[in-house]
Amino acid sequence: MTNLVPMIRWHVLGAGGPALDARLLPLLAAIDGGANLGAAVAQVGLSYRHGWGLLHAQAALLGVSLVDMQRGKGVSLTVAGRQLLQLTAAAEQRLLRKAGAIEIAPLPHTAAEPLRLSIHASHDLALIELRERIAPAFGLELNLEFKGSIEALASFAAGHADLAGFHVPLGSHPGALVPFRRWLNPRQHRLIAFIEREQGMMLPPGNPAHVRGLRDLADKQLRVVNRQRGSGTRLLFDQLLHESGIDHGALRGYSNEEFTHLAVAATIAAGKADAGFGVKAAALQYGLAFKSLERERYLLACRSEAADKPAIRRLRHALASPQMLQVLKSLPGYAGANTGSLLTFARAFSTSRDSARKKA
């Protein structure tokens, strides 16, 4: 028998209020148990950078610091962090007393071991859904680690992952593809189509500063929150700034970095910034205004010799499944475009917008 017990999940009060990340409470518990930040994030299955980014994003959402880091003294919970942990434990105990545990009988036969793939990839909401909801139904276990697009490709090239996830703009931007081509070779690698998505400016609800374009970010001295250096979104943002003749040094907060689209959205929703660049789905999840500036193609790179192996074939079936397409329909600004298909390099790096228009 397998025993199931209820757990608490917190949401910000209000219709459609964002939920706290499910990894936050286990991370706070590890810190409260005496683990340093490096050990704590490892227990939750995160890298140090992404664990720190998670803590920062959730603190921005709540408007209060959850941990205190002091040089030479390590990391500890703040009063708010300890209160959140203690109230959660008490609430779960009350819920358990009322609801009780559920016993689930085991299957009469042992399920086959899932096929495993490691993916280093640029942050994406659909990729999270693929790992959590779709892949398990297809007998896949995805070890997903988020990095910037360039870092993901470099890690893949060094043999640290089975696939790399990265995204390229569909618009015509001279030189925008050069950083990606450095790590890929048509004779050694294959490219799998994943999704197309909208990128643009995330703005506070109602767009109070009446932002119409990138130029307004500098002219109106708005506080900007940026993605980290080396991420595909940061590369695209820099490219658009360059094409618009805007010196990034003129942007307030340009050096303030977050590691995910959701962290950027949370920072703006918490009033810590006036604008950021990211995907439409993340902006709307936090109730923000959004001004679309570009569509882009998200790709998965694998090694040529692995393209026909069972794990990659099964992944492609999962990508092309009705379940995956249903997920994409639920994410604003996302579209399936030959999802799961192997693309030639010429097709994958095409700057044509035709497919985006047809699928939008």
Q: Is the dihedral of CA 24, 26, 27, 33 positive or negative?
A: positive
* Final residue of a structural domain among 102, 131, 159: 102
C-alpha distances in Å from residue 26, one per residue of 19, 42, 138:
15, 11, 28
Are 98 and 65 in a shared domain?
A: yes
Domains contained in the chain, number: 2
pLDDT confidence of 144, banded at 50, 70, 90?
very high
| Residues 49 and 174 placed together within one structural domain of the fold | no
CA distance 323 to 13: 30
Please say if the pLDDT value at position 352 is more than 60.
no
Supply the pLDDT for residue 115: 95
pLDDT score at 202: 98
Residue ending a domain, choose from 102, 131, 153? 102
The reply to whether 64 and 136 lie within a common domain is no
Give yes or no: residues 255 and 182 share one domain.
yes
Same domain for 154 and 98: no
Residue-wise pLDDT tens digits, 244-265: 999 999 999 999 999 999 999 9
Q: Does 109 reside within a domain?
A: no
Range 276-282 average pLDDT: 97
Q: How far apart are CA 78 and CA 214, in angstroms?
A: 38
Q: Is residue 221 located within the same domain as residue 260?
A: yes
Q: How far apart are the first and last CA of the chain?
A: 47
Which residue range forms the structural domain that includes residue 172?
A: 115-359
Packed helices 322-330 and 310-319: angle between N→C axes, nearest 10 degrees: 50
Q: Residue 355's domain is classified under what CATH number? A: 3.40.190.290
For residues 37 and 146, membership in a common domain is answered with no
224 near 256, Cβ under 8 Å? yes
Query: How much of the chain is helix, strand and coil, in % rounded to 5?
Result: 40, 25, 35
* CATH number for position 91: 1.10.10.10
Residues 350 and 240 occupy one common structural domain: yes
**Which of 108-122, 161-175, 297-311 has the largest mean confidence?**
297-311
* Residues 161, 304 share a domain: yes
Q: Is residue 193, in this structure, part of any structural domain at all?
A: yes
Q: Is the per-residue pLDDT at 146 higher than 60?
A: yes
* 96: nearest Cα among 3, 210, 230: 3
Q: Are residues 70 and 119 in the same domain?
A: no
Determine whether 134 is exposed, middle or buried from the number of CB atoms within 10 Å of its CB (0-12, 13-18, 19+): buried
Same domain, yes or no: 91 and 177: no
**Residue 66 placed within a domain:** yes
With 0.85 as the threshold, say if the pTM is over it: no
Question: Average of pLDDT values for 51-73?
Answer: 84
- Banded model confidence at residue 108, pLDDT cuts 50, 70, 90: low
Q: Do 21 and 44 share a domain, yes or no? A: yes
